[in-house]
Amino acid sequence: MDLGQYPPDDTGEWERGKAKKRFKDLNRQLETLQELLYAQGKERLLVVLQAIDAGGKDSTIRKVFDRCNPQGVHVTSFKKPSSREVAHDYLWRVHPHVPGDGEISVFNRSHYEDVLIARVHNLVEEEVWSRRYAHIRNFEQMLVEEGVTIRKFFLQISPEEQRARFQRRLDDPAKHWKFDLADLSERDRWADYQAAFEDMLSETSTADSPWYVIPANHKWYRNLAISKILVDTLDGLHMSYPPAAQGLDQIIINDVP
């Protein structure tokens, strides 16, 4: 995997106006398909979002899933592990958040932090983080074999776009809460993170649990691309509403006495 071959400015052949119109159509389709998923109560979808700081994970969730029923969509943000979580294996905190029947689970960051930040910050030795690729492949294959459909998205932005997004946060007092001084030191490790991302994508993208590299400098294109993949994925599950109870067509609702 060479991320240099995936320009973060790429928008395919789309122009912004048409793309935003198409995104609205896909948004409505996703709403319908998510309701069907919830109603049928058989299929499960796990969506994993990874990106460098300011890559757009939060806004992706907000935009792509804005019409979905929150009862059936669960978002988990994996931050620095607690002392209790550290006392267990690194996948221990992840498994309880995978989707159940009829659910979509969205991971904002994920178990992949343990081959990313753990590697870049030397939190564990190379022999430890490198063997985790196999753990993760096996973990996700187990989920697939137990009925979970997995779609993983890496949001690819340029260092120039990250700088611009950081600056907008600093220029807007309402966005100061989104800026952490540690973001600057993380930015200094850009090349290290790119190397870690490339290995992550190479080692853990499989036929059953694929990674999609999404050019994400343009949010409108990012939203369009991810929505299209999710709509196609759910549509491909060939779901149907559960059969109605017998005799419903004979029922007449009377007026309230």
Q: By residue range, what is the domain housing residue 99?
A: 19-238
Instruction: Confirm whether 81 is domain-assigned.
Output: yes
Report the number of distinct structural domains present in the chain.
1
Distance between CA atoms of residues 81 and 58, nearest Å: 19
DSSP states of 225-242: HHHHHHHHHHHTT---PP
Instruction: Confirm whether 33 is domain-assigned.
Output: yes
Instruction: Confirm whether 254 is domain-assigned.
Output: no
pLDDT at 18: 96
Instruction: Confirm whether 13 is domain-assigned.
Output: no
Positive or negative, the Cα torsion across 168, 170, 173, 175? positive
Main-chain dihedrals φ then ψ at residue 7, nearest 5 degrees: -60, 125
Could you tell me the two tokens for 82?
A: 């607690």
Helix (H, G, I), strand (E, B) or coil at 142: helix
Q: Residue 67 maps to which CATH number?
A: 3.40.50.300
Instruction: Confirm whether 138 is domain-assigned.
Output: yes
Instruction: Confirm whether 194 is domain-assigned.
Output: yes
Instruction: Confirm whether 250 is domain-assigned.
Output: no
Instruction: Confirm whether 117 is domain-assigned.
Output: yes
Instruction: Kindly give the confidence (pLDDT) of every residue in the chain, 257 residues in length, as a single tens digit, with 9 standing for 90 and above.
Output: 899 999 999 999 999 999 999 999 999 999 999 999 999 999 999 999 999 999 999 999 999 999 999 999 999 999 999 999 999 999 999 999 999 999 999 999 999 999 999 999 999 999 999 999 999 999 999 999 999 999 999 999 999 999 999 999 999 999 999 888 888 999 999 999 999 999 999 999 999 999 999 999 999 999 999 999 999 999 999 999 998 888 888 888 888 88
From residue 2, alpha-carbon distances to 36, 48, 185, 199 in Å are 38, 20, 24, 9
